[in-house]
Structure 1
Amino acid sequence: MLYNKIHGQDRAVESTGTALDTSRRGFLKIVALAGAAVSFGGGVARAKGEIGFWAKDLTDQQLIDMYTTVLRIRWHERTMADKMLTDPNYRGYNHFYAGQEAVATGICATLRNQGGVIKADLIYSTHRPAGHALAKGIDLKKMVAEMDFRATGLNNGYAAEMHISDPEVGFMGADGMIGPGPVIATGSAFAIKARGSDQVVVNFGGDGTYATPHFHSALNNAALLKLPFIYVIENNLYHQYAHYSYSCPMKDIADAAQTYRIPGVVVDGQDVIQVYNAAKTAVDRARAGEGPTLIEAKTYRYYNHWGAPGAKPGELGAFGYDPLAISSFRPEREVRAWMQRDPVDIARDILIDWKVVDAAKASEIEASVKQEVADAFAWAAAQPLCNPEDGLKHVFVEGTVEARQFG
């Protein structure tokens, strides 16, 4: 495949043996055309025309920032997994995002991530939120503290993992249930259109959301009203422990866009540049008042559905038996095959190929990120825990709820 030619050992040669243009413009055009072959071929409904080659216009610093974000997400996930496996006093838990870093990074790099809910673009997350939150620009230390139920965390220890939020950067919150996020997100998109803002709203959903009524009602209303709404499906093949084919009759969930007469794009979710290009097209379209887009990013999660069963400290990924699934629900070879197309490796190789950084600089950036993450976990561990009775705060707008004991 052309993708493998680009990112594998033979990336400088086409399948015909013709030498490629290795400049940023030439390299990106090959990547984008490879993505377009997936996106527009096989009779699948897609956005009209080719995905723009937008990443060619990014500065070196913007590209480095994207690579840094991919790394920040990866090392947060790896560090947290190790804490869960080795530290009996650690209270955090996670639905890990490792393996999907390019999706959140590529999408959020196209958005306005400052200015609060009046100026920033808004995103609504899933029950796997850490990657989205970090890509949107939330404070790493405060997020780490929040996930360990610390009183100085992002949401004062009330949210833990599945309900974190930071409206100041447009991160409107994670969704502990499968489905309602897009309905809330399209409500925000309607409000934005009603007040004449040019903000856009992105909803992240897993492949399992296709089978919910929320998925279809959100796209239906967004299409009817031409809302500035982008639905990103992160198809990592499994919702919990079931393959997505058990709940979706199509190979490509993006086919659903045909029903609502909106663009549907399939993109390689392991490649941050392909994700960025597809997202930039969708965001520009939404800002121009042209309505919603459905993006399906083909990706994979390296850990099991929840927590770190099957994982070992210091090693990336989880393999084999998951007691929550009652069995090994996915082949180890499948996991390892996806890990051969790792978002971190792909992002680093692209920057080196484009001569944005050399191998030494790429390693230096990664070492710096690892230290940043380690420092965040050390800071969080020194913060005070929230009090159990604090869980009764903010139940009502005014007044308090008295604690009651049941025996």
Structure 2
Amino acid sequence: MDRNLNSTAPLPTEDDAPASQSRRGFLQIAALTGAVLSTSGRRAFADGDIGFHAKDLPDEKLVDMYRTILRIRWHERTQADQMLANPDYRGYNHFYAGQEAVATGVCAALRNDGPFEQIDLVYSTHRPSGHAIAKGVDIPKMVAEDDFRATGLNGGYAAEMHLSDPSVGFIGADGMIGPGHVTATGSAFAFRARGSDQVSVVFGGDGTYATPQFHSALNNAKLLDLPFIYVLENNLYHQYAHYTYSCPHKDIADAATAYGIPARVVDGQDVFQVYNAMKEAVDRARAGGGPTFIEAKTYRYYNHWGAPGAKEGELGAFGYDPLAITSFRPEREVRAWMQRDPVDICRDTLVDWGVLDEARAAAIEEEVKAEIAAAFEWGLSQPLCNPEDALKHVFAEGTVAARQFG
């Protein structure tokens, strides 16, 4: 099969010739706010700096990546509609819609099945649903967990910001900004200490740059040459402030190069470009080559938290956010990013490569929509947690022997 790999090239910089508006040119359109990458795909390829590993994947794997993106998208849209229209819904989310290609491309390059002592581990953020789905968590149980159901993934104790499923290597979400990075390097150190070829991955947002854990994790990962991969999802805004208010770098990846860590800036809307970079990072880590930093330029379609500004049945949030006291980003910016949608790019690339046709792609999306609808139907039918169980696992139970001092 002849797969034209120019469709996974990064966005052109201002010194590149204008891209055509053909199928291949569509995937190279330029200059969305904050998304222009520092190195063009043509120059990087000529320098030998970028691989095209996605071209070697079997069709089944490529279609599975498309399904994963769709699962994340329809989970987010369905949950947003629940928050908007169901007065009995108790769940909440920091929505991941718009960033699906990052989680999917990263986790597709990892070892996600097998004994815990062999699978790769992922540490997530307070925006975890996409990472969790891409890593393989049980979606119906996650739906139940998000709505504080007793049969949820973590018994209703975790909800969104503390989801965890070690059985698939999803160590968990993190309601704090930064600590997960240090814990992830600890796992990487454990892998090396016992001679395992596992890899530890942490996701972080652009706001993590300003935390001490960001720099501590990178510093130690390089000092010890750990099998550690930092994936920074730069969606331009931490909460309601543009990342340039707290970071002096256009590309946050520049901070990693200061520690001597190989760094790559990729188009986070293109799942295959994310996969290509991640595949190289994983291979390097397994071979003892140390850490890698990947910055994915991406964008979130909803506001920081919840669904203010969104309408039932529609994708994205626009206009006023009461939590921000204002409209913190231009509507035209949101709509411009939505023109380079991860779902569209993945589908159009697979059609261009001959892996799918339009009819089969549409049928897969309908299958996924039904799958997610069934997950919500099951999850929201489960029993709610008992209020009196809130103190379980908080205090020690039973008797404790007195300590003896000699």
Q: What is the letter of the counterpart of residue 127 of structure 2?
A: R
Q: CA deviation at 1:50?
A: 1.5
Q: 1:70-123 CA distances to partner (integer Å, 9 max, x unpaired)?
A: 000000000000000000000100000000000000000000112243111000
CA contact (8 A) 1:125 1:132 kept: yes
The aligned runs of 1:8-407 (5 Å cut-off) are 9-12=21-24, 38=37, 40=39, 49-396=48-395, 398-399=397-398
Deviates most, 193-202 or 2-11: 2-11
Deviation at 1:3, TM superposition (A): 4.6
Structure 2 letter corresponding to 1:365: I
- For residue 126 of structure 1, report the CA deviation from its aligned partner: 0.2
Per the alignment, residue 3 of structure 2 pairs with none
TM-score with structure 2 setting the length:
0.89
**Contact (CA 8 Å) 1:39, 1:267: kept in 2 or not?**
no
Distance in 1 between the 2:120 and 2:210 partners?
A: 27
Backbone CA RMSD of aligned residues? 2.5
Matching residue's letter, 2:84: L
User: Normalised by the size of structure 1, how large is the TM-score?
Assistant: 0.89
| CA shift digits 1:297-345 (9 cap, x unpaired) | 0000000000000000000000000000000000000000000000000
Could you report, residue by residue, the CA deviation over 1:14-54 in whole angstroms, capped at 9, with x for unpaired residues? 9xxxxxxxxxxxx9xx99xxxxx945469xx9xx8412110
Q: CA deviation at 1:259?
A: 1.2
Distance in 2 between the 1:67 and 1:350 partners?
A: 10
SS of the residue aligned with 2:201? strand
Cα 1:326/1:41, change in 2 over 3 Å: same
Contact kept, 8 Å, 2:225 with 2:291, in 1: the verdict is yes
Q: For the residues of structure 1 that align with 2:83 and 2:386, how far apart are their CA atoms?
A: 22
Residue 38 and residue 332 in structure 1: after superposition, are their counterparts in 2 closer, same or farther (change >3 A)? closer
**1:284–1:399 CA distance, 2 compared to 1 (3 A):** farther
Kindly indicate whether the alpha-carbon contact (under 8 Å) linking 2:98 and 2:338 is maintained by their aligned counterparts in 1. Answer: yes
Q: Give 5+ residue unaligned stretches, structure 2.
A: 1-8, 30-35, 400-406
Query: Does the 8 A contact of 2:11 with 2:40 survive in 1?
Result: no
Distance 2:24 2:296 in 1: 25
Change (3 A) 1:204 1:397: farther
1:24 aligned partner: none
- 8 A Cα contact 1:111 1:121, kept in partner: yes
Change (3 A) 1:81 1:357: same
Give the Cα–Cα distance (whole angstroms) in 2 for the partners of residues 354 and 163 of structure 1: 39
Q: Is the 8 A contact 1:230 1:293 kept in 2?
A: yes
CA contact (8 A) 1:165 1:173 kept: yes
| Alpha-carbon separation, structure 2, partners of 1:189 and 1:393 | 32
- In 2, Cα distance between equivalents of 1:230 and 1:3: 23
Farther off after superposition, 381-390 or 170-179: 381-390
Contact 2:11 2:267 in 1 (8 A): no
Cα contact 1:312–1:318 (8 A) shared by 2: yes
Pairwise CA distance, 1:180: 0.5
Offset, 1:285 = 0.4
Asked whether the equivalents of residues 116 and 167 of structure 1 are also in contact (C-alpha less than 8 Å), the reply is: no
Q: Is the 8 A contact 1:232 1:295 kept in 2?
A: yes
Q: Report deviation, 1:2.
A: 7.7
Q: Match for 1:354: what amino acid?
A: W
> Does the residue aligned with 2:233 lie in a helix, a strand or coil?
strand
C-alpha contact (below 8 Å) 2:266/2:274 kept by paired residues: yes
SS in 1 for 2:106: helix
The whole-number CA distance in structure 1 between the counterparts of 2:184 and 2:61 is 27
- CA spacing shift, 1:89–1:282, aligned 2, 3 Å: same
Letter in 1 for 2:112: N
- What CA deviation, in whole Å up to 9, does each residue of 1:175-196 have, x standing for no partner? 1011101001001111111000
- In the comparison of the two structures, how many residue pairs are matched? 379
Identical positions, percent: 75
Deviation (angstroms), 1:128: 0.2
The residue aligned with 2:6 is none
SS across alignment from 1:67: helix
Q: Distance in 2 between matches of 1:125 and 1:13?
A: 33
User: What CA deviation, in whole Å up to 9, does each residue of 1:355-384 have, x standing for no partner?
Assistant: 101000000000000000000000011110
1:366 counterpart SS class: helix
Distance in 2 (CA, whole Å) between partners of 1:334 and 1:326 is 19
